[in-house]
A and B are shown apart, each in its own frame.
Chain A
Amino acid sequence: MTKGNFDTARGLALLTMMERIRAFEEQAILAAERDKLVLGAIHPSIGQEAAAAGLIWSLVKDDYLISTHRGHGHTLAKGADPAAMMRELLGREGGCCGGKGGSMHIADFGVNMLGANGVVGANITIGAGAAHAVKLLGGDQIVVDIFGDGAANRGPFLEGINWGVIFDLPILFVCEDNQYAATTHTKDVTGGDGPAARAQALGLRATGVDGNDAETVADTGAEIVQRIRDGGGPEFLHVITYRQKGHTSFDQAAYRPDGEAAARAATDDPIQRQKDVLTTAGIAAADLAAIHDDARAEMIEALRLAAASPFPSTDTAFVDVQDVGSPAVEAY
């Protein structure tokens, strides 16, 4: 399905993944706001789907991925089951984490997705450690360690990246820059020339990419991933994107300049851009619509399954804390 230099199969796969991510989050937001079934905070990545779909395209199942509180897209792209993810968001039995973690701690170790994280920047050192283990054990995996622009102002950014450099680890540090650190514009609270310049100062090869162009993210990601697989050592990728929604699904993002989000959604939406690319490549509108409809149907079904699932047994409140001194034996 390659037309000229364009890889149509990959192009369609990237669109499919982005549509699935968006449909998942749209259903999650409905579950929160319409159905009151998601009780805790969820952090949508709507508008950022190209980063997840494009980057993870080059990974295999054994490669490790570690993510942030805004990690639904990364988790889905790594191969997690959306029904298990949706059960987790609803705090139900059969959720990826048994309903104990929710959105902010979503993880699927079955596909080596080592978890989202509720603490900004904390995953930077943890991902470096997973890469350290790969090196110690002589494995051939690589680690993709995704964090946001806000994390560049936390200590683990320096400590974790330095760790990757000095131990020459097989890791790609990815700053998925959606321009807002919670509700503050990142440029207002970040000194110097930003995350990539900081990473370069620590000795990393740093690349910047238009994070709303799935094809470019996938191309650039594939080149970097291959270099790391070939033993080239750690690298840094600055993926510049835009968060179309608020910090959480409850946040109306009134702090943004009037019209900014609407304008970006209208002109720089990664899904629409990928549809345009595919249309130019000759894909019929009906085929693109079918991808959208299938993704939506899949996630409506995921939500239906999740809502029909029971809450976890209360016994599990004491399970998987620790073996020695387990609260299942003695909690007081």
Chain B
Amino acid sequence: MATMTYSEAARTAVREAMQTDATVWCVGEDLGRGGVFGQYKGLQEEFGAARVCDAPISEAAIMGAAFGAAMAGTRPIVEMRFSDFALCAVDELVNQIAKARFMFGGQSRAPMVIREPMGMWRSSAAQHSQSLESWYAHIPGLSVICPSTPQDNYSLLKAAIQCDDPIVYFEHKNIWGLEGEVDLDEDAEIGKARIRRNGGDVTIVSWSETANRAAEAAEQLAAQGVSAQVIDLRSLWPWDKPAVLDSVRKTGRLVVAHESVAVGGFGAEVVATVSEQAGDSLQGRVRRLGAPRSLIAYAPNLEDKMRVTSAMIADAALQTLGRTPT
């Protein structure tokens, strides 16, 4: 066990992977200076500029070249700096990387981790704040991971690097400095949720930074005599349906909360699946919390209008129980 930040946990996972597998390398902008958030600090000094590779501001080339290098025998870790910038490389990711193994009849593999720092972070405005994880969950061929804690950022990044298929890996910008205990021997299975808190009255499903808000909401609910089960999905594809369905069958109540826009968000997928497969267990109306379908502004009070807070999650949980929030 060691105490480390979310950022240090990821760096540790990358360092271990690079120490054990000479074909693992990192490529992205400003990595030699540690990456824009310091998540690669010291790695170029340790592994050299060829394996911690400073790229031009050419997202399409970073993604496309990493893909070519993956098909030719290496395991690239691709840094997109901000998930918003990965939109410059969507053809490479969606049309090329996601499809190569299938389209070429299994002749090729693309073992890649595409790191995309996501989410709202201190007045970064509309082009540096988005949460677009549901887009990628929609694309066959890609897996989508959204860790919320240092432990999961360590264990899931390690698992992602070892995976032989492409993984879109969303780290939340607001929690780079979040500290926690990390057990370096803990392995994570991609597609397995973490039960952040056990409870029997209501199921709260979340992921990424919002899972931390959900855990806070559960504390608030406990103070009001409500026992919430908090499920941090950790990955959206594959996602842990059994964990969610089992929980809803037990509690009969469901809240889904995420930072991304509610309309068309992955919460809708969770709710639809619960309706289809455990709908007769539901005892109250389902609540789905996400950002309004508007844009993220610079001004902090406007930015806050887009946030799903722990109080909102707790209130929604009470509503599923037919209780009026106080």
Contact = CB atoms under 8 A, between A and B. Distances in A.
Interface of A: 64, 66, 95-101, 105, 107-110, 114-115, 117-119, 122, 124-137, 155-156, 159-160, 162-163, 166, 319-325, 327, 330
Interface stretch (B30-38, B99-107, B246-254): B99-107
Interface string B270-287: 000000000000000000
23 contacts: A100-B104, A107-B105, A107-B108, A108-B107, A110-B107, A114-B71, A117-B96, A122-B95, A122-B96, A125-B67, A126-B64, A127-B68, A128-B64, A129-B65, A129-B71, A133-B71, A136-B51, A136-B69, A137-B73, A159-B56, A320-B102, A323-B165, A325-B238
B300 interface: no
Interface in B61-83: 61, 63-74
Nearest to A156: B60
Contacts of A126: 64-65, 67-68, 71, 92, 96
Given A162-B58, A163-B58, A130 B69 contact: yes
B88 to A, nearest CB: 8
B56 A166 contact: yes
Contacts, number: 160
A156 B143 CA distance: 25
Contacts of A324: 143, 163, 165, 167, 190-191, 238
A126 B23 CA distance: 17
Interface in B167-213: 167, 190-191
A97 B102 CA distance: 8
B68 A159 contact: no
A91 to B, nearest CB: 11
Contact of A133 (B58, B72, B106, B191): B72
Closest 9 CB pairs of A and B: A129-B68, A125-B64, A98-B105, A129-B65, A97-B105, A325-B238, A159-B61, A133-B72, A320-B106
B64 A122 contact: yes
B56 A101 contact: no
A80 B135 CA distance: 37
Interface in B230-245: 237-238, 241
A97 B107 contact: yes
Given A122-B96, A324-B143, A324-B191, A128 B68 contact: yes
